[in-house]
């Protein structure tokens, strides 16, 4: 029998794609065959996804709670006290800024906003803190949203307030028409909002003059000036003009204000707390996946040796482990994100909304694939170092 | 005539320094195409080391090896899988089938790893499994087959893609006497039909009669059974 070695070598050298397909199928079959490892490794990924995504979801929810006022106030620009990093009661500014703003070209509306911290006295005694938000009813900027009962127009009545629906029990069983005492004045409930609770006390909305009376705030003071631009006006140019006209204050665009609040919170305890727990979830998941995949390789060492002996290359075996890593990542991400969605729906309430943005949903399988591939390095090293001659021992 | 196997002066030393162990010492080993040679010797004599070097899964420390005229010695290790895919079929002592794959898929894997299309690989795998008498068990996993049946699947896998050389390491070791003889007879018959060169490492003297030549190896040296008429 004559053997055409050159032809056989040529044939064996070709067919890389077929080999890749065949080894992919083998990788998947080996995964599915060892069900205990499949379940264990997938659970590792699920654990990492649930912990990381849930923690990030809570973080995004908390950030949203603290940026929602800026996002829903309807302003394009804000004039705030210098160094402001949140929408909360604080240093007050002069109402002269309003006149400056109204005289600035490109400004369609300039409205005052007053925020004061106060407490609501309950009928049975005791009190609960709240943040009173006084806004200009005619301008509408900075008013309530997510209204579940009442009409904003009702705030035109003297001493009328909108309260947070979730705080009704806390404030002693509030209903429409209920009367409570704020700062020694009687106020009447004319509406409710839902979920407007930042880190601090919940918001209660009223006409700005009502809030001035309740807080005994002088008529020439305000907390913020909210600016609505005229159609076609250039935000940056108007902001620069306003900054020049209001040197004692800071002019900030709404997206920048939003970003400032987020970055401040992340630099402080929120970032550290949630960053740590998210990293912890990913690390635990990484360890579980790494150990499971390494153990799967050790259990099947002879099979991997056989694959090498029959002519598969180290790269073929590497591809098999990469395929397995990706499948574990996709499977775990799918189950994990499903669980997070269920948990988010269960947790969702006025105090906390778990927000899992689409970017996170799309990024999770990619991040987990990278994590699982990294976790397979131990297994890969073992497989690549494997001598095919071990099958004869 | 080009020899199927032409090994000259092969040596293999494991370890280094005081712990060095010489497993093979200046082995000359030649096999003609289509010949069935049994490599016998006591445990630790170097049979398996020689088979591993012939199978390109281990490299010799010294000497030169050619398979069908193709020089193996001196090739970088990354090229050895290609030689194995192109020229060699293996039958292992413990069958070494992939547990997650059916009998058919174990055979197909070898074919598809050489670039055979899925359809052709399936047809050839079925034909080989029919030839080893397992047509009705091709969808079974190895765990669902008897020891003899697994070794027959291993023979089908070794012959997949018609390699010109088959190396078998103690193919009867895990089988009872009857199954061992049956499996070796099947291997020799199928290889002879195809003109395949075969080297079998065995202790089992009940199968010696199937060999064209028996080569004895002791202490890493060939002591008997050299091919006559080969120039040194």
Indicate whether B228 pLDDT > 80: no
**Beta-carbon separation of A306 and B98 below 8 A:** yes
**pLDDT above 90 as % of chain A:** 52
Using CA atoms, how far apart are residues A216 and A65, in angstroms rounded to an integer?
A: 28
Q: Is B109 part of a structural domain of the chain?
A: yes
Q: What is the pLDDT of residue A163?
A: 93
Stretch A252-270: mean pLDDT: 90
Stretch A79-106: mean pLDDT: 91
Show the tokens assigned to B195: 């003109």
CB-nearest partner of A15 from B34, B92, B115: B115
**How sure is the predictor about B188, in pLDDT bands with cuts at 50, 70 and 90?**
very high
Q: How far is B133 from chain A (nearest CA, A)?
A: 23
**Which residues are within 8 A (CB) of A233 and not within 5 positions of it... i.e. 6 or more apart?**
A105, A106, A107, A108
User: What is the helix, strand, coil percentage profile of chain A, to 5?
Assistant: 55, 20, 25
Using CA atoms, how far apart are residues A177 and A228, in angstroms rounded to an integer?
A: 33
Indicate whether A74 pLDDT > 80: yes
Residues of A in contact with B196 (CB under 8 A): 1
Stretch A364-372: mean pLDDT: 89
Using CA atoms, how far apart are residues A186 and A144, in angstroms rounded to an integer?
A: 21
8 A C-beta contact, residue B180 and residue B204: yes
A-B contacts at Cβ under 8 angstroms: 133
Q: Best mutation site among B69, B115, B160, B169 for testing chain A: the one with the most A CBs within 10 Å?
A: B115
Indicate whether B64 pLDDT > 90: yes
Using CA atoms, how far apart are residues A289 and A325, in angstroms rounded to an integer?
A: 9
Q: Is B25 part of a structural domain of the chain?
A: no
Indicate whether A350 pLDDT > 80: no
Using CA atoms, how far apart are residues A190 and A162, in angstroms rounded to an integer?
A: 6
**Which residues are within 8 A (CB) of B29 and not within 5 positions of it... i.e. 6 or more apart?**
B5, B7, B10, B50, B54, B215, B222, B226
The pLDDT tens digits of the residues spanning B142-159 come to 999 999 999 999 999 999
Stretch B206-222: mean pLDDT: 92
Across chain A, what does the average pLDDT equal? Answer: 89
Q: How far is B224 from chain A (nearest CA, A)?
A: 23
The pLDDT tens digits of the residues spanning A159-181 come to 999 999 988 888 888 899 999 98
Q: Which of A338, A328, A321, A331 is nearest to A386 (CA)?
A: A321
8 A C-beta contact, residue B202 and residue B41: no
**Beta-carbon separation of B48 and A11 below 8 A:** no
Q: What is the pLDDT of residue A176?
A: 92
Quickly tell me which residue has 């120039």 as its tokens. Answer: B231
Q: What is the pLDDT of residue B102?
A: 97
Mode of pairing for the β-strands spanning B165-169 and B197-201: parallel
ipTM: 0.90
Give the domain extent around B41: 35-58+77-224
**Beta-carbon separation of B98 and A392 below 8 A:** no
Q: Which of A216, A221, A215 is nearest to A118 (CA)?
A: A215
8 A C-beta contact, residue B92 and residue A392: yes
Q: Is B70 part of a structural domain of the chain?
A: no
Indicate whether A298 pLDDT > 70: yes
**Beta-carbon separation of B68 and A3 below 8 A:** yes
Q: Is B124 part of a structural domain of the chain?
A: yes
Using CA atoms, how far apart are residues B144 and B137, in angstroms rounded to an integer?
A: 9
SS3 A142: coil
**Beta-carbon separation of B115 and A9 below 8 A:** no
SS3 A114: strand
Q: What is the pLDDT of residue B77?
A: 86
**How sure is the predictor about A259, in pLDDT bands with cuts at 50, 70 and 90?**
very high
Q: What is the pLDDT of residue B231?
A: 53
The pLDDT tens digits of the residues spanning A131-151 come to 999 999 999 899 999 999 999
8 A C-beta contact, residue A246 and residue A101: yes
**Beta-carbon separation of B85 and A5 below 8 A:** no
- The residue that leads in pLDDT, B105 or A279, is B105
A216: exposed, middle or buried (C-beta count within 10 Å: 0-12, 13-18, 19+)? exposed
* Phi, psi of A198, rounded to the nearest 5 degrees: -80, -165
**Beta-carbon separation of A18 and B115 below 8 A:** yes
**How sure is the predictor about B229, in pLDDT bands with cuts at 50, 70 and 90?**
low
The pLDDT tens digits of the residues spanning A103-129 come to 999 999 999 999 999 988 888 788 889
Show the tokens assigned to B125: 């795998």
Using CA atoms, how far apart are residues A316 and A313, in angstroms rounded to an integer?
A: 5
**How sure is the predictor about B46, in pLDDT bands with cuts at 50, 70 and 90?**
very high
Q: What is the pLDDT of residue A327?
A: 93
- CB distance from A236 to chain B under 8 Å? no
Q: Is B66 part of a structural domain of the chain?
A: no
CATH classification of the domain holding B108? 3.40.50.300
- CB distance from A315 to chain B under 8 Å? no
Q: What is the pLDDT of residue A1?
A: 62
Q: What's the structural domain count of chain B? A: 1
Indicate whether B174 pLDDT > 70: yes
**Beta-carbon separation of A12 and B86 below 8 A:** yes
Q: Is B52 part of a structural domain of the chain?
A: yes
**How sure is the predictor about A16, in pLDDT bands with cuts at 50, 70 and 90?**
confident
**Beta-carbon separation of B98 and A30 below 8 A:** yes
8 A C-beta contact, residue B181 and residue B173: no
Show the tokens assigned to A372: 């699982």
The rounded radius of gyration (Å) of the Cα atoms in chain A is 31
The pLDDT tens digits of the residues spanning B123-147 come to 999 999 999 999 999 999 999 999 9
Lowest mean pLDDT among A98-107, A199-208, A277-286, B152-161: A277-286
Using CA atoms, how far apart are residues B51 and B39, in angstroms rounded to an integer?
A: 9
Task: Provide the greatest CA pair distance for chain B.
Answer: 55
DSSP code, position A170: T
Compare all CA atoms of chain B with the CA of A308 and give the residue at the minimum distance.
B81
Q: What is the pLDDT of residue B230?
A: 55
Show the tokens assigned to A38: 């499949």
Q: What is the 3-state secondary structure (H, E, C) of chain B?
A: CCCCEEEEEEEEEECCHHHCEEEEEEEEEEECCCCEEEEECCCCCCHHHHHHHHCCCCCCCEEEEEECCEECCCCCHHHHHHHHHHHEEEECCCCCCCCCCCHHHHHHHHHHHCCCCHHHHHHHHHHHHHHCCCHHHCCCCHHHCCHHHHHHHHHHHHHCCCCCEEEEECCCCCCCHHHHHHHHHHHHHHHHHHCCEEEEECCCHHHHHHCCEEEEEECCEEEECCCCCCCC
CA angle B165, B105, B95 (to 5 degrees): 55
**pLDDT above 70 as % of chain A:** 99
8 A C-beta contact, residue A171 and residue A120: yes
Q: What kind and span of H or E run contains A193?
A: strand A185-193
Compare all CA atoms of chain B with the CA of A17 and give the residue at the minimum distance.
B115
The pLDDT tens digits of the residues spanning B197-211 come to 999 999 888 899 999
Listed by start position, the domains of chain A span 18-65+269-392, 82-248
What is the CB neighbour count within 10 angstroms for residue A387?
Answer: 15
8 A C-beta contact, residue A31 and residue B106: no
Compare all CA atoms of chain A with the CA of B120 and give the residue at the minimum distance.
A18
**Which residues are within 8 A (CB) of A296 and not within 5 positions of it... i.e. 6 or more apart?**
A30, A34, A37, A41, A324, A379
């Amino acid at each position: 029998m004559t053997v055409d070695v050159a032809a056989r070598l040529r044939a064996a050298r070709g067919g890389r794609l077929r080999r890749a397909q065949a080894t992919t199928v083998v990788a998947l079959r080996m995964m599915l065959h060892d069900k205990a490892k499949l379940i264990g490794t997938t659970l590792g990924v699920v654990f990492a996804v649930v912990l990381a995504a849930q923690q990030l979801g809570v973080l995004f929810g908390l950030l949203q709670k603290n940026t929602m006022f800026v996002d829903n106030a309807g302003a394009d620009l804000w004039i705030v006290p210098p160094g402001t990093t949140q929408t909360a009661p604080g240093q007050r500014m002069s109402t002269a800024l309003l006149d400056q703003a109204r005289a600035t070209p490109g400004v369609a509306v300039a409205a005052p906003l007053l925020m004061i911290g106060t407490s609501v006295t309950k009928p049975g005694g005791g009190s609960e803190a709240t943040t009173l938000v006084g806004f200009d009813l005619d301008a509408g900027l900075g008013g309530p949203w997510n209204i579940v009962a009442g009409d904003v127009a009702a705030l035109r009545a003297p001493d009328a307030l909108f309260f947070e629906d979730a705080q009704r029990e806390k404030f002693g069983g509030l209903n429409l028409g209920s009367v409570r005492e704020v700062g020694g004045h009687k106020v009447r409930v004319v509406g409710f909002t839902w979920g407007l609770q930042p880190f601090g006390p919940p918001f209660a909305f009223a006409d700005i003059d009502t809030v001035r009376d309740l807080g005994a705030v002088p008529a020439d003071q305000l907390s913020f000036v909210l600016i609505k631009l005229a159609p076609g006006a250039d935000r940056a140019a108007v902001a620069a003009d306003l900054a020049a006209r209001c040197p004692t204050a800071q002019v900030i665009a709404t997206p920048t204000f939003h970003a400032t609040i987020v970055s401040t919170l992340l630099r402080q305890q929120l970032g550290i707390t949630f960053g740590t727990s998210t990293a912890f979830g990913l690390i635990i998941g990484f360890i579980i996946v790494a150990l499971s995949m390494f153990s799967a390789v050790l259990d099947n060492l002879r099979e991997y040796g056989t694959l090498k002996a029959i002519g598969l290359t180290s790269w073929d075996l590497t591809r098999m482990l990469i395929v397995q890593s990706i499948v574990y990542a996709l499977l775990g991400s799918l189950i994990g994100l499903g669980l997070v969605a269920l948990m988010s729906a269960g947790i969702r309430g006025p105090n906390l909304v778990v927000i899992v943005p689409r970017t996170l949903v799309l990024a999770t399988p990619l991040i987990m694939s990278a994590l699982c591939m990294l976790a397979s390095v131990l297994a890969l090293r073992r497989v690549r170092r494997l001598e095919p001659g071990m099958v004869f021992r | 005539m080009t020899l199927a196997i032409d090994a000259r002066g092969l040596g293999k030393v494991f370890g280094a320094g005081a712990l060095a162990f010489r497993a093979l010492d200046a082995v000359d080993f030649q096999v003609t195409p289509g010949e069935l040679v049994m490599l016998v010797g006591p445990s630790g004599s170097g049979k398996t080391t020689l088979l591993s070097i012939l199978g390109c899964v281990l490299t010799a420390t010294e000497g030169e090896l050619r398979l069908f005229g193709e020089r193996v010695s001196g090739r970088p290790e990354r090229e050895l899988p290609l030689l194995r895919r192109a020229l060699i079929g293996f039958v292992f002592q413990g069958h070494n089938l992939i547990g997650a794959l059916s009998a058919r898929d174990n055979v197909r894997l070898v074919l598809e790893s050489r670039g055979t299309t899925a359809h052709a690989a399936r047809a050839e795998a079925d034909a080989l499994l029919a030839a080893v008498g397992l047509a009705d068990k091709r969808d079974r996993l190895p765990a669902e087959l008897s020891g003899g049946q697994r070794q027959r699947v291993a023979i089908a896998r070794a012959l997949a893609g018609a390699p010109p050389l088959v190396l078998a390491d103690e193919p009867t070791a895990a089988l009872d006497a009857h199954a061992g003889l049956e499996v070796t007879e099947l291997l020799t018959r199928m290889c002879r039909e195809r003109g395949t060169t075969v080297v079998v490492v065995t202790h089992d003297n009940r199968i010696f009669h199937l060999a064209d030549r028996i080569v004895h190896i002791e202490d890493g040296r060939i002591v008997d059974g050299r091919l006559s008429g080969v120039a040194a």
